[in-house]
Structure 1
Amino acid sequence: MTEPNHPPNGAAPAPPAVRRKAVLAASIGNFVEWFEFTLYGFFAAAIAVNFFPVPDGTSSLIPTFAAFGISFVLRPLGALVFGHFGDRLGRRGTLAASLIGMSAATFVIGVLPNADTIGVLAPILLIVARVAQGFSAGGEFGGATAYMVEYAPEHRRNFFGSWQFFTQMLAGLAGSAVGASLSAVLSEQALNAWGWRIPFLLTLPLGVIGFYLRLRLDETPQFKAEQGGERGAPLPTVLREHWPNVLKVIGLMITGTTFFYMVQAFFPAFLVEQVGLARGQMFAAMMIGICAQLVLIPLWALYADRIGRRRPMLVGSLAVLVVCAVPTYLLFLHGTFGSAALGYLVLAVVLAPMTGCLATALAESFPTSVRYSGLSVAYSVSVSVFGGFTPLILSALAASGRLAPAYYLVGAAVLSLMAALLLPESAQSSDPASDRDGAAV
């Protein structure tokens, strides 16, 4: 047992100023990477027009979302590669490499010629760029989460870890703000022709800034405390000793990843093309929901540091979501700005308790020596299977049944609820993932 406020594994605690600087720098890089990755979903309708036109001059969201989902195929491979080097060599350089890879691939999407210019080569190159994005994203979640949690004092592990999803939501807010601004100043024709490219082109300088900040980070106290020890290959250790926790993390992530890509990839195009909501109203309604989550996430995180992770995740989010998913989806189908804004707001309130404590609960499932690999692999598999193709699945379900997407979300919440019931409580433990026996406690 370590002394209060000391990191586990015998690591010397970092000074508060160093902790704040480290987590802030990691959060900025996390924001940049997820801002870049989510742009595709925000501008899916415009991308469909440019890269997947159909003969009658309209566009199809199905191939556009299929290309969105393909990017997740290489996420697990990226998780294996980045997780290996992150656990063997360190979090700092691995996270920097992940960020610059994402920025380069996103920039390429912004400069690609459309199908009218180079024909079938346009969607092929788009898919290649999306696959490169997916590979780079495979190294982001596990590394950034491990970095944030490993720098946290014991009584604030949850608050520090909550910056993972806070910055993801902030990236979503920035993306929706950019989309709303472009929709306000450009005509629909101009936005589809060239306006959508602007945020993609901005990602390269953003990526360079984030890359620089990450290279200036120091390794976490927990990782440095273990650097002198003998290290084996992390992936075999994860699969051999921690496979039950891998399955729990996958189960816990099903709802989070389904919700994230429903809200930030499926709804932006579905509400505009199928429900008939104006693009600017859609972005404004989304921003209301995201702002609510940004307020609630840190509050729930601080509360979870006092009462534990399981109660906010179980009672505060998943059980309630099972009940309210269908009525909330009906609000979106109503097709007005007010109903869409209310729908986004309800989802934000319901899911904020889970979002506020999920990252830390996942990180505590693995010891320091394999945390980057364990988190990256479990998260990437979950997102690849249940998240990447969520917009495609929901588009097909919406075509077959009016409420089918809502029932899909209910099913996801039930599966995550079952996984959460198996999650041990670790909020009051000073050693959340014991390295002595390799088991989460």
Structure 2
Amino acid sequence: MSHSDITAEGRPEARPLNPKDIKTLILSSLGGTLEFYDFVIYALYVDLIVAPLFFPDSLSLFTKELFAWGIFAAGYLVRPIGGIIMAHFGDKVGRKQMFTLSVALMALPTFIIGILPTYNSIGMLAPILLLVMRMLQGAAIGGEMPGAWVFIAEHTPKQRYGFGIGTLTSGITGGILLGFLITIIIDMLFTKVDILNYAWRIPFIIGGIFGIISVYLRRFLSETPIFKELASRKALEKNIPVISVIKNHQFACLLVAILTWSLSTTVMVGVLITPGKILGGMYHLPSIDCRVAGCVVALMLTLGCIFFGWLEDKIGTKRNMIIAWGGLAITSIYFYATLSLDMSLTALYIHCAIFGLFTGAIATLPIVGTRAFPPSIRYSGLSFAYNLAYALFSAITPTLTLYLLNPNHLLGHYAYIGAGVYIAFVALLGVVVGFVSLAQQGWQPVSK
């Protein structure tokens, strides 16, 4: 790709998709699927495995769960560190190298978790080692997601920009679907005693092995044409990239942070918390039905990301975000309002599918975020704003969700739609962002 094939904003010009583009998209999406699977599989086993096996029986059940979820949160809190470091070198030495490193950094700790001794074997060293592995996972995912989005944004032709990023995002979120499917298979093949004794290790070991395969596959990817162009013109950022981001691109960071709040709440509450805590805890659905419902939402999320990415290319950012985030605001309220103890599984799965489709609105975050910064600091800008915001909002979201679901607090008799109210609120923030010119057009070079 020559300089003439790159826009002034640092994005590929319009051209037909070629076989190399398709290969890049497939390999990037596959790696993202496996890496996000590795990250979320812990969440699906927190209450069942981590709490009983990695902490002493002398602790109360509440305390065990508190520590187990604390280790889960640690993965989010360390994300900014890994993201900023990897993004720094991604802007300095190349996108591809950091893109490959992030998968390797995820695969190893995931495999180690799968063979980690429990509390009964090594005492308090077990939860300490689990915490360290979880922090390494967090550092990896902090670099992976912004790196993957930038990598595809700088490879995909202008007229397929939304579709490319939406497809990649669907691959990443497909890791959630894969996690649900693997846990369902484990539940069907093994008894609860067998799962506690050894079978819980299988998903982690599988994830580690496939992660190593992903590292190998990413060797066949090429550096982005945008980075090559910057390097050839000696136009790489000469200062520390994140410093330039903080000094010169605060508004872009704000937009990314707002959309990250919308994305993180949608994924955490709508996809990860709802199956177990709401469907299982409040409406007493059997575990297998909760996991199937989670599968339906996750499947439609992956399809929704592709759909709203495609729609971006057809109708533009503002109208796409009105439809995507506005639709999520409406369907989230409807979904949680219609849940009931006597609801049929068929009706539940249909409602999960409709709600899940609009959770695909999250694909608009990387679409807006990757073009909100100039190419020389694009990776650092997106990673800094995204990971800091994700760490902040992931820390408050579980507590805020439980607060809204409690009838003794803010919503009173309407607490049963508390999760829907929270998701609808952040979805409306997404609609508002769609009206901002920087979100619609992206960073523009200053004319001389």
Amino acid paired to 1:87: D
Which residue of 2 is the match for residue 30 of structure 1?
A: 32
> Structure 1's 14 and 308: CA in aligned 2 closer, same or farther, altered over 3 A?
closer
Post-superposition offset of 1:216: 2.4
When the two structures are superposed, what TM-score results if normalisation uses the length of structure 1? 0.88
Q: Deviation of residue 283 (structure 1)?
A: 1.6
Aligned residue in 2 for 1:434? 444
Deviation sequence 1:10-68 (CA, Å, 0-9, x none): 97979712212222221121111111111111222222222246658856543322221
Corresponding residue for residue 50 of structure 1: 53
Which of 147, 152, 156 is residue 143 of structure 1 equivalent to? 147
The 10-residue stretch of structure 1 (130-139 or 187-196) with the greater mean CA deviation from structure 2 = 187-196
Distance 2:67 2:347 in 1: 29
Q: Counterparts of 1:85-164 in structure 2 under 5 Å?
A: 85-164=89-168
Q: CA deviation at 1:331?
A: 4.0
Deviation at 1:251, TM superposition (A): 0.3
Q: Give the C-alpha shift of residue 268 in structure 1.
A: 4.0
Match of 2:225 among 221, 226, 231: 221
Q: Which runs of 5+ in 1 are unaligned?
A: none
CA distance in 2, matches of 1:395, 1:120: 29
SS state at 1:277 partner: coil
SS of the residue aligned with 1:72?
helix
Moved more, 318-327 or 139-148: 318-327
Q: CA deviation at 1:341?
A: 2.3
1:307 to 301, 315, 338: 315
Partner of 1:174: 178
Classify the secondary structure of the residue corresponding to 1:239. helix
Kindly provide the CA deviation profile for residues 284-330 of structure 1, in whole angstroms up to 9, marking residues without a partner as x: 1122222233333323322220210121212x233343344344224
Distance 1:267 1:116, change over 3 A: farther
- Amino acid paired to 1:302: W
Unaligned runs of 5+ in 2: 410-414
1:257-268 correspondence runs (5 A): 257-268=264-275
Q: Whole-Å Cα distance in 1 between the matches of residues 231 and 254 of structure 2?
A: 28
Identity of aligned residues (%): 24
Residue 388 (structure 2) aligned to one of 378, 381, 397: 381
The C-alpha deviation readout for 1:173-206, integer Å capped at 9, x for no partner, is: 1111101111111122322332221110112221
Q: Root-mean-square deviation (CA), in Å?
A: 2.9
> CA offset at residue 274 of structure 1?
5.0
CA distance, structure 2, for counterparts of residue 434 and residue 382 of structure 1: 24
> Which residue pairs with 2:412 in the alignment?
none
Whole-Å separation in 2 of the counterparts to 1:129 and 1:405 = 30
Query: Would the alpha carbon gap of residues 374 and 425 (structure 1) be closer, same or farther in structure 2, given more than 3 Å must change?
Result: closer
Specify which of 192, 196, 200 is matched with residue 192 of structure 1: 196
Q: Is the 8 A contact 1:246 1:374 kept in 2?
A: yes
How far apart are 1:376 and its partner, in Å? 0.8
Residues 323 and 22 (structure 1), Cα distance of their counterparts in 2 relative to 1, 3 Å cut: closer
Deviations 1:264-292 (A, max 9, x none): 43234313355422222112112222223
Secondary structure of the residue aligned to 1:139 is helix
Alpha-carbon separation, structure 2, partners of 1:307 and 1:4: 26
Once residues 55 and 421 of structure 2 are traced to their aligned partners in structure 1, the CA distance between those partners, rounded to angstroms, is: 29
Aligned-pair CA distance for 1:415:
3.6
C-alpha change, 1:192 and 1:139, in structure 2 (3 Å) is: same
Residue type matched to 2:205 in 1? L
* Partners of 1:34 and 1:40 in 2: CA distance: 11
Deviation at 1:368, TM superposition (A): 1.2
1:61, 1:317 → 2: CA distance? 35
User: Residue 180 of structure 1 contacts residue 279 of structure 1 at CA under 8 Å; is this kept in 2?
Assistant: no
| Distance in structure 2 (CA, Å) of the matches to 1:366 and 1:181 | 43
- Supply the distance in 2 between the matched residues of 1:241 and 1:57 (Cα, whole angstroms): 50
Report how far residue 234 of structure 1 moved: 1.1
Task: State the SS of the aligned residue for 1:377.
Answer: helix
